Amino acid sequence: MKILTFTSLFPNRTKPQLGIFIFQRVFHLSRQRNNQVRAVAPVPFYPRWLKWGKWEASAHVPVQEQLQGLDVYHPRYFLLPKISMPFHALFMFLGSLWKVRSLHREQHFDCIDAHFIYPDGTAAVLLGRVLRVPVVVSARGTDINLFPNFRIIRPMIRWTLEQASGVIAVSSSLKQVMLEMGLPAGKVQVIGNGIDPSRFSPVEPREARQHLNIPEGGPVIVSVGSLIPRKGFQHLIPAFAQIAPGFPGARLYIIGEGSFRSELQQLAERLGMRNQITLVGNQPNEALRFWYSAATVSCLVSSREGWPNVLQESLACGTPVVATNVWGAPEVITSPELGLLVEQNPAAIASALNSALGKAWDRTAIATHAQKRTWDVVAAEVDRYIESVTAEHNPSKA
């Protein structure tokens, strides 16, 4: 099949960690049955001479690049942050139309594979109408568990789901929300994310700690995620403060960056945990295996998740997890031998951490279980689904 992947959440030269899980699925899809895949990843237009926060990086994204042999194009579109949200999809569509049409003339696409329902999926459906090709949209988390609450874009999300030829949900919980929005059950396929065993596999814990230059004694808790309120670090830090006296040498490492950093740092200091809690900052994706392997347990206490990749990554490194019992987390933590599910409050988290740190886990069995769902397995499922949708749209190619 000839597939056009369309999403703004895609790695690029200035943000190599952006949407890595989407890239993995697309890259492995391109290796299924000699599929020919090209990616269009639009970025907001930003003048190079203007210096203003996080948006400045988009000015330095190349118009075209290659990622592991995959051709990626970055057309520009107009965007005013926080103002043009109702028109975001329309601007993305208009900014990408010329490039997508040009690529379609070179290589007639059989379908469009779009990621994130709004604005990306909406723009992709509009592009599909112009090209007269089916569009499969993938729901990944915030686009379904948060965005429909915004009254101004909820109708566009519903329209996108109705007009798309097929819909993929990365978790059953996301599928359920879309069913409640009126989408027919037969139109939604659940396909969770995968793991790259070459990137996420166990390292001997002592070796991992030496590599990271962190103390070898005492239990280590690692938590990976953006420093934003919904990730729940404001609950994890006091939970850790509760259990720390019972575990000499215990340390908590929080990996990620975000607008909530200063508040979390102040919270740790107020609780007297300044020397035991470290806000590490962002880490390269390939470095995370050392952090997971160094950890006695990893922790994710979000209020919302689509398919929590960090849980799967931790398990693939043999590290058990403590996670809030929300959205896609129970679909990853399917057994008490993999980790513990809790409510999102400091007392519950502290109790679970206390139990997890006192339990003898079979780390080899944990890693073996998690590494069965590779990106090749995921890509094969996606390939079969997209092929069925394409065949239904154009029976002559079935």
Q: For position 58, what pLDDT does the model report?
A: 73
Do 146 and 92 share a structural domain? yes
Mean pLDDT of 317-322: 97
Residue at 199 is within a domain: no
Residues 245-255 pLDDT 10s: 999 999 999 99
Do 237 and 275 share a structural domain? yes
Residue at 200 is within a domain: no
Residue at 271 is within a domain: yes
Do 230 and 157 share a structural domain? no
294 contacts 208 by C-beta, under 8 angstroms: yes
Model confidence at 138: pLDDT above 60: yes
CA distance 68 to 39: 12
Q: What confidence category does residue 321 fall into, taking pLDDT thresholds of 50, 70 and 90?
A: very high
* CATH, residue 43: 3.40.50.2000
Q: For position 55, what pLDDT does the model report?
A: 59
Do 184 and 110 share a structural domain? yes
Q: For position 141, what pLDDT does the model report?
A: 80
Question: Other CB atoms closer than 10 Å to residue 128's CB: what's the count?
Answer: 25
* Domain count across the chain: 2
254 contacts 239 by C-beta, under 8 angstroms: no
Do 108 and 25 share a structural domain? yes
Q: For position 60, what pLDDT does the model report?
A: 82
Residues 184-227 pLDDT 10s: 988 999 999 999 999 999 999 999 999 999 998 899 999 999 99
Residue at 127 is within a domain: yes
Do 139 and 22 share a structural domain? yes
Among candidates 100, 96, 172, which has minimal Cα distance to 327?
172
What residue numbers bound the domain in which 106 lies?
2-194+375-397
Q: Where are the beta strands (DSSP E) in 116-198?
A: 135-139, 166-169, 188-190
Residue at 164 is within a domain: yes
Residues 16-49 pLDDT 10s: 888 999 999 999 999 988 899 999 999 998 765 5
Do 309 and 382 share a structural domain? no
Mean pLDDT score across all residues of the chain: 92
Q: For position 51, what pLDDT does the model report?
A: 56
Do 383 and 343 share a structural domain? no
